[in-house]
A and B are shown apart, each in its own frame.
Chain A
Amino acid sequence: MATPAFPTSFVPGPLWGNGPTPGQVYNFPGAATAPDQWGTQRTLNPSVTTTSVLAVKYKDGVVMAADMLGSYGSLARYRNCPRLQKINDKTILGCSGDYADFQFLSNIINQRVVEEECLNDGFSYTPPGLHSWLTRVMYNRRSQFNPLWNTYLVGGIHQEKPFLGYVDKIGIAYEADTIATGFGAYLALPILRDAVEKNKKMEEKQAVELIDRCMKLLFYRDARSLNKYQVAVVTKKGSEIRGPIVSEANWEIAHMVKGYE
């Protein structure tokens, strides 16, 4: 009873190394959202981002503004990204944060608006209705640990009065007379609040001037901003998006900076 000279179970050696195993699912290298062994991954970092959105309520309605830059980190990569959307004659939507997430939700909202137009029954999305719906969507995504990395501003007219609401990527939602997201919250919001405190019933011209001033300030001080922006105005007569407006900036001070040629 000699022991056999060769192994009784013959397992072939690997045919190659550093490559796909025959019969196994192969995850190609470089895929950003490839599912790993624990299930679907969630993207936790935004890629193309947009900066602040500002809005202010005035006597007849709401003025909202957002620049048109999509930044890839610190690179000012895409300089024509519109971030203000007209929903219907009494509602506008502005967004900051991840641009892809905005486009995703924007498509869904447009689809719903079209469906509602097809119903043609005299009822349409109202600003508070959209605000409430957005809050539910954003909070739901946050609860799944897969947030839409955005901050939304919903502005419009509801029952003859201006409406302005904010919804966060973690589902925080509130209404206010003046709102700004991102850097605007630190730089522009104090100016907006001060102006509204001094004059609660601004005219449209004053409100637009105020917004223009804040956008200019943001261009000077926010390192991820652009001087090209859009302004949206909603009144009971309707809503329109104006722009792109290119604001002139004065950089003469640069010559006074030592070392800057």
Chain B
Amino acid sequence: MRRKIVSSPRVLLCRVTFQFSAQYLLVWSFWKRQFRGNMFRNQYDNDVTIWSPQGRIHQLEYAMEAVKQGSAAVGIKSKTHAILIALKRAPSELSAHQKKILPIDDHVAVAIAGLTADARLLCNFMRSECLDSRWAYDQALPISRLVSMVGNKSQIPTQRYGRRPFGVGLLIAGYDSAGPHIYQTCPSANYYDCKAMAIGARSQSARTYLEKYLDTFAECSLEELVKHGLRALRDTLPSEMNLNTKNCSLGIVSVDMKFKIYDDEKVASYLALIEGEERSTAAPDGEEGDAAAPATRTDLQPPVPVSAAADGEEGMES
């Protein structure tokens, strides 16, 4: 005769409660894991359409971090010239250094820092707008108008569910009927009119240098201006690295001169201007760009194959 398994109400209840709470424990442990380290930093950074209680949009701030991962670029203007100097990075020893200064029109060019693919998109847009102005009005597009168009375009994905901000910062240098201009644009869709600016990895040292000599830029000759720019860029490099013709890119525009971009051997004569000079500051290690990513300083480590990248970011940015 089979004995019935005891099933008093109390036992049943215990059994059910146990099963139920086991499942709940499982769910709860996954949920709790979100608060531990790597998945998300907080519960307000999943989408760009979510405000944090402090009034911040974390996705925008994370996008700005992407700009800080890109290599440095410096822009300075005087009364007569606007220049861009950028540090090129090579993803591996086998590949060429990534172009950093892109021409837009005869009177404008941009230096990019961050996701190169996003930069290409914005660059194509800017070229299209400049061409349009030349076709319709037979005139160069004023830089301020071009920059505000970029700002308007960048703002759209910062306020739409399912989209992400552009992960690139631009330094736009140009010359129009109102003189030379340097503008900085951010993934947050803000743009700033600057006398001089530096963006990218370890760019704080460059900005410190530029602030020091800010009052002298307006009256500088072209040669002086380029020297300042090269010195500022050099300050973003660690002490054992130096600017050379492979990793340095220079662009100059002026009233009677179309935008010219110098690469490789053509930079050599400008680099010679600061050769032998003592470096005023060397960037302290681990200064910037470590907040978001673990300490992969892609400039210093031996070239890492893309598939082995820690968070898959190295192949995208320059």
Contacts and interface: CB of A to CB of B under 8 A. Distances in A.
Interface string B176-196: 011000000000000000000
B142 interface: yes
Contacts of B135: 136
B144 interface: yes
A122 interface: yes
B244 interface: no
Interface in B122-149: 135-139, 142, 144-145
A121 B138 contact: no
Interface string B138-165: 1100101100000000000000000000
Contacts of A119: 145
Interface string A119-136: 101110010111011001
B77 to A, nearest CB: 17
A123 B177 CA distance: 9
Could you say which of A123, A126, A129 has the most chain B C-beta atoms within 10 Å of its C-beta?
A123
B144 A132 contact: no
Interface residues of B, number: 10
B137 A133 contact: yes
Nearest to B139: A129
Given A119-B145, A121-B142, A123-B145, A133 B178 contact: no
Contacts, number: 25
B140 to A, nearest CB: 11
B145 A121 contact: yes
B138 A132 contact: yes
A119 B147 CA distance: 13
Contacts of B137: 129-130, 132-133
B136 A122 contact: no
B221 to A, nearest CB: 26
Given A122-B178, A123-B177, A136 B136 contact: yes
Nearest to B144: A121
A77 to B, nearest CB: 36
Contact of A133 (B136, B142, B177): B136
Nearest to B137: A129
A132 B138 CA distance: 6
Interface in A228-255: none
A104 B109 CA distance: 38
A242 B118 CA distance: 54
Nearest to A121: B144
Contacts of A123: 142, 144-145, 177-178
Contacts of A132: 136-139
Nearest to A130: B137
Contacts of B144: 121, 123
Interface in A125-158: 126, 128-130, 132-133, 136
Contacts of B142: 121, 123
A246 to B, nearest CB: 38
Given A121-B144, A121-B145, A126 B136 contact: no
Contact of A129 (B138, B145, B178): B138
Nearest to A159: B177
Contacts of A136: 135-136
A133 B139 CA distance: 10
A121 B144 CA distance: 8
Contacts of B145: 119, 121, 123
A129 B138 CA distance: 6
B177 A128 contact: no
Contacts of A129: 137-139
Interface string A86-130: 000000000000000000000000000000000101110010111
A119 B144 CA distance: 10
A83 B3 CA distance: 110
A122 B144 CA distance: 10
Interface of B: 135-139, 142, 144-145, 177-178
The 4 closest A-B pairs by CB, nearest first: A132-B138, A129-B137, A123-B142, A129-B139
25 contacts: A119-B145, A121-B142, A121-B144, A121-B145, A122-B178, A123-B142, A123-B144, A123-B145, A123-B177, A123-B178, A126-B139, A128-B138, A128-B139, A129-B137, A129-B138, A129-B139, A130-B137, A132-B136, A132-B137, A132-B138, A132-B139, A133-B136, A133-B137, A136-B135, A136-B136
Given A121-B142, A122-B178, 15 more contacts: A119-B145, A121-B144, A121-B145, A123-B145, A123-B178, A126-B139, A128-B138, A128-B139, A129-B137, A129-B138, A132-B136, A132-B139, A133-B137, A136-B135, A136-B136
